[in-house]
Every structure is written in structure tokens, then in C-alpha cells.
Structure 1
Amino acid sequence: MSPRNLLFLLLALLLTLGGCSSRQKAPEPPPVQLSPATWEQIDREIIDASLATTSSVNDYARRSMRVWKDRVQQFTESDFIPWFTGYWTQQWLTMKVAWYKINSGEGKEPPEKRLAAYLQEQYHQRVLDQVAKEIDPEGIRDRAMELYVQLLGQQLQQLAQRYRAPPEQFNLRLTRIQAINLGPPAALNASLHQLLYSKSLAEQPAYAALVKHMHSAVRAGSQRADVSLSSVAQDASEKLSATLAPRGIASAVASAVGRVAGALISVAATGYGIMSHNQEQPAMIEQLRVILNVALNQEWRELMENRKTGTMAGVYYLSGEVEESLLGARRLPDEPETGSLRIVLPAQ
């Protein structure tokens, strides 16, 4: 090979190596030392991230609760209303009211309350328990809390990268932010760093205590429904009681004490024709549908808006602790506290 060709070969090799080196990724810039003012700005952006995350999770909870509400309405229409307004159910309820009246007295609940308890039990079994197999407000509440922790963690990683904050300093910052404050004991407290990075949520005692407390709230879907069914039971009890005398059922029940339920139902059937029931049933169905729909709408709003027991209660608690912890660290001594949602666990 001539010297000239060798020179060309060397130049080509150098150009190739130079191109390879130019395509290599530039090294990450080292973390910088942040000023106190910058750390204060980071704190403000953590609060903003918490608020934005809460808003995003609220959208998830609202969409999920719409699905829950639709399923409750469907089971109410397909199961509970036909059952309650059916001919044989009305006969059975009439017999129960008669039996309650015979056994009423001092120290016993009024017949309408006993009937309400029975209807509430039936509503749970036929509607709420069936819907809970598919979707449950308590499950939505738990998932909302998990989403808040997950999405906030992603936001904070981006925040640390944007400011090129030293990892050890940023993590130390997060350990000073309270996220769960249910102690004593100290195991029921958790910092934001612990919540995000120490262990899985299922393995953290403080998080488990928070979930347990949320589950001890009024069972989702029952509060307003039970109130509405109490009014239904009151009306039903009065109407059924009014029919006892002309139908002679009270005396029939009194003379049939100890007999099987089927015999009692047959006695009721002899005093009340199915034709009369069919005439009254459409109005009964419409009245019951209106009452239960109003109650369901009220319950849905309660589950969405109640900051202590609703589907967003856990998220509001976590975000309130995080935001209050950061605001409290920056508050001047003479500034009043804004306050955040506090949960006090019962004594163990």
C-alpha cells in the first residue's frame, strides 16, 4: 500500500471514530447545590403537584362512582322493585306487620321500624351486595388512595430532575413531610418519602391503619338507602295496617300462632284478591322508584363530597397532611393554622 493510500485510510478511520464519539450520549450534568429560595420553590411545587394529583384522582373516582350508581339502579329496577311490589311479597309483608303488631309492646320496637330493618336487609342482599361483587365504593376509595401515591411519586421524580436536586437532599426533604399522622405509636406515622419509597403500601403499618379506619366508616351505599327504606317501610306499614281489619288478618294471625309461614300466607291470600293488587301495583312501583332514585342521588353526592367518609376521603386525608406539613414548615410563628383533616383512631 502506498503512503498516500495509507494516509487516506488513517483519515477515514479517524473520521469514523469521531462520528461514533459524537453520537454517544452526553453525560448527565451533576446535581447542583440549591439555594434556600429554590428549596422553597420546590416546596410550593410539591403542594401544586399534590393538588393536581388530587384533582386527577377525583376524576377517576367520579367516573367509577357513576358506574356504581348505574349498576345500583339496574339491580333496583330488575330485582328489588319487582320483589317488593309483587303480590306474594305484599301478602308476606302484611303478615309480618300483623305479627309485629301482635307482638308489640313495652320494650319492643314499633312495627314500622321492624319492617324497615327487614326491608333494609332485603335491599342489601338484592342490590348493594350484588353490585359490590362488581364494583364497590370502598374498593374505589382504596384504589383512589393508591393512585394518589403513585401519581404524586411520578410528579416528584420529574420535579427533582427538573431542578437537578441532589438525590440525598431531595429524599431528606421528603422525609420531613408528614403524610400519615395516626400515632402514637410511631409506627402509625409515615413521612412522604416512606409512603412513596420505603415499602409497598400493603406492608406499611401506617397506611394499613389508615385503610382500616376508612373501612370502618358507614358502609358505602347504605346510609341514604336505609333512610329512604325507613320512609318506605313507614308508608307500607301504615297502608298494610289499614287493610288488616277489613281483611280479618289480625285475628287470623292470632289464631294461627305456631303454624308454618305458608299457612299464614294462604290465610292472607284469601282476604285480598290479586286483581286488586294488579290495579294498585303501577302506582306502587312509580312511588317506590321515585323514593329510591332520590335516595340514591343523595347517597351518590354524599359518597363524592363527604371528605371524611366518601370515596375521596383517604386522598383528602393524605393530601391534607402533605400540604399542611409544607405550609406549617413555612408559616410564620404568628400566623394562624389553616388546619387539615384529622383522623383520631379509637383506643386499642
Structure 2
Amino acid sequence: MSTAWLVAARRRLCIPLLAGLLVGCASDPPVHVSASTWRQVDQDIAAASRSAEDQARQHALEAMQRWLALVQRQTDEEFIPWFYGYWTQQWLSFKVSWYKLGADEDDPTVRRLAAYLQEEYQELVLEPVAEEVSPERILHGSTRLYVRLLDMRLRSIPGRHGVPQEQFDQRLAALPVISGEPGASLYQLIHADPLERLPAYAALLERVGAVPGGDWSADPGISLVAQRTSERLVDEMTTSGAVSAVAAMVGRVAGTALSLGATLFTLISRDADRPESEAQLRQSLAVALDQETRALLSSPDRGVLAGVWYLSGQIEEGLGRPFQYQP
């Protein structure tokens, strides 16, 4: 019997066998996962989300403590020396006088001066610190950390319950974590690489915010300090008679008016009053910064954990809906 004949015979036997195996595989029904198993899977997804949320919260807390320390140091080293500098005090006195001349009910002097002080605080303190760390960066970092940790914890769930990966992926795809247009499912979120290029994720970060500054007129933080400081400046300027003196200078050369106005206001900058006044301002700013930090850690809309809480909340809500695998 020749070798060629044996090879041909083997081929004739293998082809029908292989065809039968392929037909059998194609007709096998998908693995059935019971409703109780899916409930356990959902419980594990929820637990994974909560665990990732806890670690992201701890990360945000540590980062905000570092931000607060840097802001306090920058305040002590830059803003307070600037505020109590001789020429700053003279310039503020002139601004108070000028504001007072044109003040009306719609634009009071105190509010205008408070806005000016807020702008200076933003420039001297918040912007330099933001080059190293900022609430906005902490928001992005904590949200990114939550997604990465959640992805790691989800990977072990299918094998733990004997659920085929395809069915588990469909479960994740059925969980919407970012609503609106464009939206995204949990499956899309954890498989986005890089995460920032997922349109729905980028849109989410635009909706939530953690940036102190801007219009602080309704914020209980630094604006309150600026408001109180402005009120004190206005009161001292009014009682010292500086406003009427500047009014008499209207129409003269601006440089002369400024130099004359600078001699009118020395109450705050007097050496005898400065230590106590400086200590009061430092204390007020410390309280305001602590309030701002707490607000940024707790606010669901503009806090550093706003993205994390939104995503985890969407997952919890989605897990409350029944799921059935569709082959």
C-alpha cells in the first residue's frame, strides 16, 4: 500500500469529521446565565463602582489638601504683602474715592472694590498655584482614576460567576453612564483609549466644573473677605474725609490728583495698626479658603468629585433596571 494512498484516505476521513465538528459548534446554544447569577453580577458591579469611588475620593482629598497648603503659602508670601504695601494702600484709597464719586444704587462702591480685590487675588495667588495643582486638574484626575480602577475591578467578575465574556460585555453595554448627546455606556467608557477622546466623556467634563474664581459675588468664600475688606476701606475713607477731597480735585491733572489723594489715606497702612489688621485679614482668608475647600470637596455640581459622583450615580441607576442577554 503506497504512502500517497494512505494520505488520501486520511484526508477523506478528516474532512467529514471536521465539517461535523464545525456544524456542531455553530449550533451550540449560548451558555444560559440565570437571573440570580445576573443579580450577583450586578451586585459585584455596584461594589466595584463604590470601591473605585472611595479611592478616587481619597485621592481628591489628599490633592485638595495640597492645593490648600499651596494657596495659603502663596497668600502669605504674595497677596498679604501686596495688600499692605504702601503704594497699594494709596492706590486703593484713590480707587475708593473714585468709585464713591460715581457710585449709584446699581453699582455700589463696595462691590466694585471687592471685584478688584478678587481679580488681584486670582492673579497673585490662584493662577500661580494652578500651574502646579488646581481644582480643575484634581477633578480630571479623580474622574480618570475612578474609571481606571473600575475597569480593573470589573475584569474579574465574569470568571467569578461563570459568565461568558460576550454576555458580560453586553451587560456593560446596556448600562448608560453618560446621558445626553453624545452619550456613552459603561462598556464604551472603560474601553476608551485615551479616555479624553471619548466625545461623551469630554462633554461631561465640560458640564461639571471645579474652578474657583470667576463671578464670586454669590460664593461664600473669598468674595466675603473681599466684601468685608471693601466695606472697611470705604468706611475709613468716608470718615477721613478723603472722598470730598478727591471730589475737589476732579478736573485737575491725573498725576497731581493721584499724588494728592495718596496723602489722604493712611489709616490701614499705619505701622501701629498693621500687625492687628494683617492678622485679621490672614484669619479671614484662612476661614474663607477652608470653606472653599470644603465646598469643592462636597459640591455635586462644581466640586472635584462631580465627575466621579455623576458616573457612579448613573451606574447605580442603570443597575436598577432588569437585564436579559440577547444573543
What is the Cα deviation at residue 309 of structure 1? Answer: 1.3
Tell me the secondary structure at the aligned position of residue 184 of structure 2: strand
> In structure 2, what is the Cα distance between the partners aligned to 1:65 and 1:258?
50
Matching residue within 149, 152, 155 for 1:154: 152
Equivalent in the alignment of 2:253: 259
Deviations 1:285-332 (A, max 9, x none): 0111111111111111100111221100110000000011002338xx
> In structure 2, what is the Cα distance between the partners aligned to 1:57 and 1:196?
16
What is the Cα deviation at residue 210 of structure 1? Answer: 0.4
> In structure 1, what is the Cα distance between the partners aligned to 2:124 and 2:192?
43
Whether the 8 Å CA contact 2:147–2:189 is kept in 1: the answer is: yes
Equivalent in the alignment of 2:73: 74
Residues 221 and 253 (structure 1 numbering): CA distance in 2 closer, same or farther, change over 3 Å? closer
What is the Cα deviation at residue 215 of structure 1? Answer: 3.5
Deviations 1:168-196 (A, max 9, x none): 1110110111111123xxxx211100111
- Measured on the aligned residues, the alpha-carbon RMSD in Å equals 2.5
The residue type paired with residue 190 of structure 1 is: A
Equivalent in the alignment of 1:48: 47
Deviations 1:129-187 (A, max 9, x none): 1111110101100111111111000000022232342111110110111111123xxxx
Whether the 8 Å CA contact 2:177–2:311 is kept in 1: the answer is: yes
Tell me the secondary structure at the aligned position of residue 156 of structure 2: helix
Matching residue within 285, 294, 311 for 1:318: 311
> In structure 2, what is the Cα distance between the partners aligned to 1:275 and 1:215?
37
Equivalent in the alignment of 2:261: 268
Equivalent in the alignment of 1:231: 228
2:236 is aligned with 1:242: no
Tell me the secondary structure at the aligned position of residue 146 of structure 1: helix
Equivalent in the alignment of 2:296: 303
Residues 275 and 62 (structure 1 numbering): CA distance in 2 closer, same or farther, change over 3 Å? closer
Equivalent in the alignment of 1:344: none
2:286 is aligned with 1:293: yes
Equivalent in the alignment of 1:208: 202
Residues 220 and 313 (structure 1 numbering): CA distance in 2 closer, same or farther, change over 3 Å? farther
TM-score (norm 2): 0.82
> In structure 1, what is the Cα distance between the partners aligned to 2:198 and 2:91?
51
- Count of paired positions: 291
Equivalent in the alignment of 1:134: 132
> In structure 2, what is the Cα distance between the partners aligned to 1:323 and 1:217?
27
Whether the 8 Å CA contact 1:104–1:111 is kept in 2: the answer is: yes
TM-score (norm 1): 0.77
What is the Cα deviation at residue 272 of structure 1? Answer: 5.3
> In structure 2, what is the Cα distance between the partners aligned to 1:275 and 1:175?
64
Tell me the secondary structure at the aligned position of residue 135 of structure 1: coil
Higher RCO by CA contacts (8 Å cutoff, separation 6 or greater) = 2
> In structure 2, what is the Cα distance between the partners aligned to 1:276 and 1:137?
34
Range 262-271 or range 128-137, more displaced: 262-271
Tell me the secondary structure at the aligned position of residue 308 of structure 1: coil
Matches within 5 A, 1:331-346: none
Unmatched tracts of structure 1, length 5 or more: 1-30, 331-348
Tell me the secondary structure at the aligned position of residue 55 of structure 1: helix
Equivalent in the alignment of 2:6: none
The residue type paired with residue 239 of structure 1 is: E
What is the Cα deviation at residue 34 of structure 1? Answer: 3.3
